[in-house]
Amino acid sequence: MRRYTGFDKISRGRRPGLERLVQYIVFLSSNKCWNNGTWGVREKRSKTTMSVHATGRAADMSWRKMPDGRGSGDWWDAARMMQFLVDNADALGLEIVIDYQPTPHGRAWRCDRNQWRDYKTRTVSGAPGGDWFHIEISNQFADDAAHYDRVFQQIFGGQ
């Protein structure tokens, strides 16, 4: 198990490693999961603490069906992608996945417990029923787009 970082410092902008990982998620899901936002200096929804999005290490990936063809509208497509990410968490430097969809209050996987936890009380804004999932990666790979190229080459062997 690894340590969960959470918010540490505000980034000057988008970080290449996270942006590359997001591109792979969109590609691997055949656009069934799309980029609903990465870097942005803001507080957490309904909170007064800073969002990890401000660090450039967090992304929201939506499965909402859009008129332009993005998203499938099917949570199971997102669930399969979330499980793929968790199954490869160490290689990806994945620290957290928050799934806002399940009742009663969503669920999250974290690297410091290496398992999913169903929330029994209101813990994350947007749950239940949110049509996106949230991911965060470690600083180790946040600026290293080539790392994700190597990881996905290794996972898929150039296929």
Q: How crowded is the C-beta side of 136, counted as CA atoms within 13 Å?
A: 21
- Spatial neighbors of 152 by CB under 8 A, at least 6 apart, are 24
Is residue 68 pLDDT above 90, yes or no? yes
- Spatial neighbors of 33 by CB under 8 A, at least 6 apart, are 25, 26, 61, 62, 63, 71, 77, 78, 81, 133
- The single-letter DSSP state of residue 54 is G
- The β-bridge partners of 134 are 60, 98
Query: If DSSP codes are grouped into helix, strand and coil, which group holds residue 19?
Result: helix
Is residue 4 pLDDT above 70, yes or no? yes
The pLDDT score that the predictor gives to residue 47 is: 66
Average pLDDT, the chain: 94
The pLDDT score that the predictor gives to residue 33 is: 98
Task: Please state whether the predicted TM-score (pTM) of the whole model is above 0.75.
Answer: yes
The pLDDT score that the predictor gives to residue 66 is: 98
What token pair was written down for 8?
Answer: 């540490």
